[in-house]
Amino acid sequence: MAPRHLRAVPDVPERLASDPDPAAAEVARTIVLRQLTGSPKSRRQLEEKLAERDVPEDVATAVLDRMEEVRLVDDSAYAEDFLRNRQRTKGLARGALRRELAQKGVSGEAAEQALEAISEDTEREAAVELVERRLRGRPVPDGEDPESRAERDKAVRRLAGMLARKGYPPGMALGVVREVLGGIEDD
Protein backbone atom coordinates (compact mmCIF):
# COMPACT_ATOMS: atom_id res chain seq x y z
CA MET A 1 0.00 0.00 0.00
CA ALA A 2 1.33 3.44 -0.95
CA PRO A 3 2.06 5.95 1.76
CA ARG A 4 -1.09 7.86 2.58
CA HIS A 5 0.33 11.27 1.71
CA LEU A 6 0.96 10.23 -1.90
CA ARG A 7 -2.60 9.01 -2.38
CA ALA A 8 -3.92 12.38 -1.20
CA VAL A 9 -1.76 14.33 -3.65
CA PRO A 10 -3.78 15.23 -6.75
CA ASP A 11 -0.64 15.85 -8.85
CA VAL A 12 0.59 12.27 -8.52
CA PRO A 13 -0.54 9.90 -11.28
CA GLU A 14 -2.56 6.91 -10.08
CA ARG A 15 0.13 4.45 -11.21
CA LEU A 16 2.62 6.07 -8.79
CA ALA A 17 0.16 6.54 -5.94
CA SER A 18 -0.79 2.86 -6.01
CA ASP A 19 2.81 1.67 -6.26
CA PRO A 20 3.94 0.23 -2.91
CA ASP A 21 7.31 1.97 -3.27
CA PRO A 22 6.94 4.99 -5.56
CA ALA A 23 10.04 6.60 -6.93
CA ALA A 24 10.21 9.86 -4.99
CA ALA A 25 12.11 11.62 -7.77
CA GLU A 26 9.45 10.73 -10.32
CA VAL A 27 6.73 11.95 -7.98
CA ALA A 28 8.65 15.21 -7.44
CA ARG A 29 9.19 15.68 -11.18
CA THR A 30 5.49 15.12 -11.83
CA ILE A 31 4.53 17.68 -9.19
CA VAL A 32 6.99 20.27 -10.52
CA LEU A 33 5.93 19.79 -14.13
CA ARG A 34 2.27 20.11 -13.23
CA GLN A 35 3.00 23.28 -11.25
CA LEU A 36 4.89 24.77 -14.19
CA THR A 37 2.09 23.93 -16.61
CA GLY A 38 -0.22 26.60 -15.17
CA SER A 39 2.30 29.42 -14.93
CA PRO A 40 6.01 29.98 -14.30
CA LYS A 41 7.14 29.60 -10.71
CA SER A 42 10.23 30.52 -8.75
CA ARG A 43 12.42 27.83 -7.29
CA ARG A 44 11.27 28.68 -3.76
CA GLN A 45 7.61 28.38 -4.74
CA LEU A 46 8.32 24.92 -6.13
CA GLU A 47 10.32 23.96 -3.04
CA GLU A 48 7.37 24.97 -0.87
CA LYS A 49 4.94 22.97 -3.02
CA LEU A 50 7.15 19.88 -2.82
CA ALA A 51 7.47 20.28 0.95
CA GLU A 52 3.65 20.50 1.21
CA ARG A 53 3.47 17.19 -0.65
CA ASP A 54 5.96 15.52 1.73
CA VAL A 55 8.69 15.07 -0.86
CA PRO A 56 12.01 14.50 0.94
CA GLU A 57 14.21 17.60 0.87
CA ASP A 58 17.17 15.88 -0.79
CA VAL A 59 14.93 14.57 -3.59
CA ALA A 60 13.33 17.99 -4.06
CA THR A 61 16.75 19.64 -4.28
CA ALA A 62 18.01 17.13 -6.84
CA VAL A 63 14.88 17.44 -9.01
CA LEU A 64 14.90 21.25 -8.88
CA ASP A 65 18.63 21.36 -9.66
CA ARG A 66 17.96 19.27 -12.76
CA MET A 67 15.01 21.48 -13.73
CA GLU A 68 17.31 24.50 -13.49
CA GLU A 69 19.92 22.76 -15.66
CA VAL A 70 17.38 22.27 -18.44
CA ARG A 71 16.05 25.82 -17.80
CA LEU A 72 12.52 24.81 -16.87
CA VAL A 73 13.11 26.65 -13.60
CA ASP A 74 14.90 29.98 -14.04
CA ASP A 75 14.49 32.62 -11.34
CA SER A 76 16.03 35.36 -13.51
CA ALA A 77 13.60 34.78 -16.38
CA TYR A 78 10.74 34.40 -13.90
CA ALA A 79 11.65 37.75 -12.28
CA GLU A 80 11.76 39.56 -15.62
CA ASP A 81 8.39 38.20 -16.73
CA PHE A 82 6.84 38.81 -13.32
CA LEU A 83 8.05 42.42 -13.19
CA ARG A 84 6.97 43.21 -16.72
CA ASN A 85 3.50 41.84 -16.03
CA ARG A 86 3.05 43.44 -12.60
CA GLN A 87 4.24 46.85 -13.68
CA ARG A 88 2.01 46.78 -16.75
CA THR A 89 -1.11 45.54 -14.97
CA LYS A 90 -0.74 47.11 -11.51
CA GLY A 91 1.56 50.07 -12.20
CA LEU A 92 3.80 49.17 -9.28
CA ALA A 93 7.06 50.98 -8.58
CA ARG A 94 10.42 49.26 -8.11
CA GLY A 95 10.16 49.18 -4.32
CA ALA A 96 6.84 47.36 -4.36
CA LEU A 97 8.03 45.05 -7.12
CA ARG A 98 11.16 44.20 -5.11
CA ARG A 99 8.97 43.24 -2.13
CA GLU A 100 6.67 41.11 -4.28
CA LEU A 101 9.62 39.30 -5.82
CA ALA A 102 11.02 38.59 -2.35
CA GLN A 103 7.63 37.12 -1.36
CA LYS A 104 7.85 34.84 -4.40
CA GLY A 105 11.32 33.73 -3.35
CA VAL A 106 13.37 35.75 -5.83
CA SER A 107 15.89 38.10 -4.29
CA GLY A 108 19.51 39.03 -4.61
CA GLU A 109 21.17 39.23 -7.99
CA ALA A 110 18.26 37.78 -10.01
CA ALA A 111 15.83 40.34 -8.57
CA GLU A 112 18.18 43.31 -8.90
CA GLN A 113 19.06 42.39 -12.48
CA ALA A 114 15.38 42.29 -13.42
CA LEU A 115 14.68 45.56 -11.57
CA GLU A 116 17.46 47.32 -13.50
CA ALA A 117 15.33 46.95 -16.64
CA ILE A 118 12.84 49.42 -15.15
CA SER A 119 14.23 52.91 -15.68
CA GLU A 120 13.20 55.91 -13.64
CA ASP A 121 11.55 57.34 -16.76
CA THR A 122 9.49 54.18 -17.24
CA GLU A 123 8.51 54.25 -13.60
CA ARG A 124 7.51 57.93 -13.84
CA GLU A 125 5.46 57.26 -17.01
CA ALA A 126 3.59 54.49 -15.19
CA ALA A 127 2.85 56.87 -12.30
CA VAL A 128 1.54 59.54 -14.67
CA GLU A 129 -0.68 56.96 -16.37
CA LEU A 130 -2.07 55.81 -13.01
CA VAL A 131 -2.94 59.37 -11.97
CA GLU A 132 -4.49 60.17 -15.34
CA ARG A 133 -6.51 56.96 -15.26
CA ARG A 134 -7.77 57.79 -11.77
CA LEU A 135 -8.78 61.30 -12.87
CA ARG A 136 -10.67 60.28 -16.04
CA GLY A 137 -14.15 61.69 -15.97
CA ARG A 138 -13.63 63.44 -12.63
CA PRO A 139 -13.36 67.20 -12.47
CA VAL A 140 -10.54 68.55 -10.34
CA PRO A 141 -11.25 71.82 -8.54
CA ASP A 142 -9.15 74.73 -9.76
CA GLY A 143 -8.23 75.90 -6.26
CA GLU A 144 -9.14 79.54 -6.81
CA ASP A 145 -11.49 79.92 -3.85
CA PRO A 146 -10.88 78.45 -0.36
CA GLU A 147 -13.47 75.69 -0.73
CA SER A 148 -12.18 74.47 -4.10
CA ARG A 149 -8.61 74.86 -2.79
CA ALA A 150 -9.45 72.44 0.05
CA GLU A 151 -10.97 69.99 -2.46
CA ARG A 152 -7.90 70.25 -4.69
CA ASP A 153 -5.59 69.63 -1.72
CA LYS A 154 -7.67 66.59 -0.80
CA ALA A 155 -7.39 65.27 -4.38
CA VAL A 156 -3.61 65.79 -4.29
CA ARG A 157 -3.30 63.87 -1.00
CA ARG A 158 -5.45 61.01 -2.27
CA LEU A 159 -3.57 60.68 -5.55
CA ALA A 160 -0.15 60.91 -3.87
CA GLY A 161 -1.32 58.33 -1.31
CA MET A 162 -2.42 55.97 -4.09
CA LEU A 163 1.03 56.22 -5.68
CA ALA A 164 2.74 55.73 -2.31
CA ARG A 165 0.77 52.51 -1.76
CA LYS A 166 2.04 51.31 -5.11
CA GLY A 167 5.61 51.86 -3.93
CA TYR A 168 6.46 55.22 -5.49
CA PRO A 169 8.80 57.45 -3.48
CA PRO A 170 6.97 60.39 -1.86
CA GLY A 171 8.84 63.04 -3.85
CA MET A 172 8.11 61.37 -7.16
CA ALA A 173 4.47 60.75 -6.23
CA LEU A 174 3.82 64.37 -5.31
CA GLY A 175 5.74 65.63 -8.34
CA VAL A 176 3.73 63.45 -10.72
CA VAL A 177 0.43 64.50 -9.16
CA ARG A 178 1.38 68.17 -9.41
CA GLU A 179 2.51 67.70 -13.00
CA VAL A 180 -0.72 65.99 -14.04
CA LEU A 181 -2.91 68.51 -12.23
CA GLY A 182 -1.17 71.39 -13.95
CA GLY A 183 1.56 72.65 -11.66
CA ILE A 184 0.14 73.27 -8.24
CA GLU A 185 2.18 75.94 -6.53
CA ASP A 186 4.13 74.91 -3.44
CA ASP A 187 2.75 76.09 -0.12
Domain boundary among 61, 84, 118: 118
Question: Minimal CA–CA distance to 165: which of 119, 136, 113, 127?
Answer: 127
Number of domains within the chain: 3
Average pLDDT, integer, range 59-78: 92
* Parent domain of 109: 74-118
Average pLDDT, integer, range 112-126: 88
Average pLDDT, integer, range 64-83: 92
For residues 43 and 23, what is the distance between their CA atoms, to the nearest angstrom?
21
Does residue 18 surpass a pLDDT of 50? Answer: no
Are residues 124 and 95 part of one domain?
no
Question: Minimal CA–CA distance to 123: which of 115, 112, 133?
Answer: 115
Are residues 52 and 16 part of one domain?
yes
Does residue 142 surpass a pLDDT of 90? Answer: no
